[in-house]
Amino acid sequence: MKNLSVIIQARMGSHRLPGKILKKIADKSLLDWVIKRVKKSKKIKKIILATTKNKKDDILQEIASRNKIFCFRGQNQDVLGRFYNAAKTHGSEVIVRVCADNPFIDCRLIDLLVEKFKSKKYDYICNHQNRLNSKYADGFGAEIFSLELLQKLFNYAKKKAQREHVTQYVWENKKKFRILAMQAPKSLAYPGFKFDINTSRDLSYIKKFVRANKINLLSTASDIIKYKLKEKNQRRLNYG
């Protein structure tokens, strides 16, 4: 697909867990987990880290350079503006949006999005959460849309929350867009499971989970679901 990019939005100033993207899981930072797992995609050639111009985010530019991906630096609070300008600056016509707090992002689910988007039947497709009863767990997938849609969001979104969350305007105005929430296959249909990291408690759990199950960069979403089910079953046995 022509001019296809993944854009990962990240900054050090996370409200609930400051500096979380540099927190270590096993031997790698959270951000390194995300970048390295995205790089295993067969469909993605260009990856852009969209961060801020704040001094404390200088280190993120260094991480982007070390991982041989692009880096765009924009406004802190206007995440949508930063995202849009990152896409425009790098000539992205189709964008996959990946969150930097999803260490188990699965390149296969990114590739599924790209394949589905080729049909040109939809303005927006996602498989990153349980949207429209899609039954996906939180933390494996992503969102895909065109620069044309992103420009509309940039122009139409006025509320503070819509500027802080790139695609919130889409979900608040579903009738204006052709939306597809891909249905999770049976092996991944566990909408109650959550693998993103927002708090210190999330981070502590994921660290233990990775260590206990020897999860690595090659572990698939299906593998991780199996480990989670095993953990739940063991807990049930223990507390009977």
pLDDT over 70 percentage in the chain: 99
Mean pLDDT within 150-178: 96
Torsion of CA 188, 125, 60, 106, to 10 degrees: 20
Closest alpha carbon to 211 in 17, 27, 34:
27
Q: Residue 183 has what DSSP assignment? A: P
239 pLDDT higher than 70: no
Instruction: Tell me the per-residue pLDDT of 182-207, one tens digit each, with 9 for 90 and over.
Output: 999 999 999 999 999 999 999 999 99
Percent of the chain with pLDDT over 90: 92
Residue 9 has pLDDT above 70, yes or no: yes
The pLDDT of residue 236: 75
Give the chain's mean pLDDT: 95
Instruction: Say whether pLDDT at 240 is over 80.
Output: no
pLDDT at 235: 78
Q: What confidence category does residue 231 fall into, taking pLDDT thresholds of 50, 70 and 90?
A: very high
Q: Give the tens place of pLDDT for each residue, 31-62.
A: 999 999 999 999 999 999 999 999 999 999 99
- Predicted pLDDT of residue 140: 98
Q: Check: CB of residue 47 under 8 Å from CB of residue 8.
A: yes
What does the CA dihedral 206, 188, 131, 143 come to, rounded to 10 degrees? 80
More confident residue, 59 or 75: 59
Mean pLDDT of 57-68: 96
Q: Which residues pair with 146 in a beta bridge?
A: 94
β 70-74/24-25 pair status: unpaired
**CATH code, domain carrying 116:** 3.90.550.10
pLDDT bracket for residue 18 (50, 70, 90): confident
Query: What is the model's pLDDT at position 64?
Result: 97
| Predicted model pTM | 0.95
For the chain, the domain total comes to 1
Segment 80-102, tens digit of pLDDT: 999 999 999 999 999 999 999 99
Q: How far apart are CA 139 and CA 224, in angstroms?
A: 11
Domain coverage including residue 181: 4-239
Pairing of strands 124-126, 179-181: parallel
